[in-house]
Amino acid sequence: MCWAVMREGLEMLLKLERVAKAYGGPSSDRSVRVLEAIDLEIEAGESVAIVGPSGSGKSTLLHIMGGLDGPSSGAVFLNDRNIVGMQEKELAAVRNTEVGFVFQMHHLLPQCTVLENCLLPTLAASAPSDGEESVQRALRLLARVGLTERVHHRPGQLSGGECQRAAVVRALVNRPSLVLADEPTGSLDRASAEQLTELLAELNREEDVTVVVVTHSMELAQRMGRVLCFDGNELRPYSGTSAAA
Ligand SMILES: Nc1ncnc2c1ncn2[C@@H]1O[C@H](COP(=O)(O)OP(=O)(O)OP(=O)(O)O)[C@@H](O)[C@H]1O
Ligand SMILES: [Mg+2]
């Protein structure tokens, strides 16, 4: 049975319609069916956590939501536009301007300072922006996450938690409507993980940005407004008894 995770919507930011994903192609004998007819609606301003066992398809789903990967079938509407089947150039522009990604490892460039790293998304040709305004926004956000004293340091001179906070700033710098975070606290100690969790929850409110977080941590998940759990190839509202993390 397919389970539709639907809500009575106000402004819909993200809508998945019967999204399925198989790796290796449907006719391959090594085909891995990961997602099965996922229906999901996320309103603008929501914060949503996705939990589930390792290998259940959380990262796959997040990548599809942000246009980093395409589904085998189904539609993904971001701000009312179906990103499935978009030309790569148009899709890259959507990814760059409407979506911010935070990954388990921060992927900051080691040779650039914290500020330069945070400004990288603003340099993409598809998102021409006022340089000085971007710098001011990055500096404001870096102050907001407690990194004012570190803006001219390189990632190698920062702690893991500081790098992740910088990665959150980088994800927000272009004012995306959607931030997708894939186990952002996975590489952090408990205190840093709690700090980053709090930060994501606060930024969701303050910056009016929709946040979807994949996590193994129920502590992080429960700081979000809604928790969804993978059950087999399907996604269900988390009941507290599902096979999470
Ligand atoms: N490129 C690929 N080719 C073939 N199979 C893949 C590929 N990427 C992922 N898979 C498989 O798809 C399934 C889901 O992977 P995914 O990375 O989405 O899981 P996950 O829920 O994020 O797991 P984890 O919690 O360990 O990060 C796994 O069985 C994985 O082996
Ligand atoms: Mg994963």
Domain formed by 47-70+87-237, architecture: 3-Layer(aba) Sandwich (3.40)
Per the structure block, which two tokens stand in for 84?
A: 């499935």
What is the model's pLDDT at position 179?
97
| Residue of the CA atom closest to atom 1 of ligand 1 | 23
Cβ–ligand 1 distance for 55 under 6 Å, the answer: yes
Candidate of 29, 31, 32 to mutate for ligand 1, largest count of ligand atoms within 8 Å of Cβ: 32
Report the separation in Å between the CA atom of 22 and the middle of ligand 2, taken as the mean of its atom positions: 16
What is the model's pLDDT at position 221?
94
| Residue of the CA atom closest to atom 27 of ligand 1 | 54
Closest-lying ligand 1 atom to the alpha carbon of residue 32: 5
Residue 198, φ and ψ in degrees, nearest 5: -60, -45
Count CA within 13 A, CB hemisphere, residue 99. 24
- Cα separation, 240 vs 227, in Å, equals 10
What is the model's pLDDT at position 208?
86
What is the model's pLDDT at position 20?
95
Contact between residue 180 and residue 62 where contact means Cβ atoms under 8 Å apart: yes
What is the model's pLDDT at position 245?
47
What is the model's pLDDT at position 131?
85
Q: Which residues does 138 contact at the CB level (< 8 Å), separation at least 6?
A: 115, 118, 119, 122, 169, 173
What is the model's pLDDT at position 91?
96
Which residues, chain by chain, have CB under 5 Å from ion ligand 2? 59
Residue for token pair 């996320």: 42
Residue for token pair 């460039």: 109
Between β-strands 4-5 and 32-43, what pairing exists: parallel, antiparallel or unpaired?
parallel
Domain residue extents for the chain: 47-70+87-237
- Cα separation, 171 vs 190, in Å, equals 22
Report the separation in Å between the CA atom of 103 and the middle of ligand 1, taken as the mean of its atom positions: 15
Cβ–ligand 1 distance for 241 under 6 Å, the answer: no
Cβ–ligand 1 distance for 32 under 6 Å, the answer: yes
Collect the ranges in the chain with pLDDT lower than 70.
Answer: 1-10, 25-28, 125-129, 241-245
Phi-psi region of 113 (alpha: psi -120 to 50; beta: other; left: phi over 0): beta
Contact between residue 190 and residue 196 where contact means Cβ atoms under 8 Å apart: no
Cβ–ligand 1 distance for 215 under 6 Å, the answer: no
What is the model's pLDDT at position 243?
47
Closest-lying ligand 1 atom to the alpha carbon of residue 56: 21
What is the model's pLDDT at position 125?
53
What is the model's pLDDT at position 9?
46
Of 171, 176, 180, 181, whose CA–CA distance to 120 is shortest?
A: 171
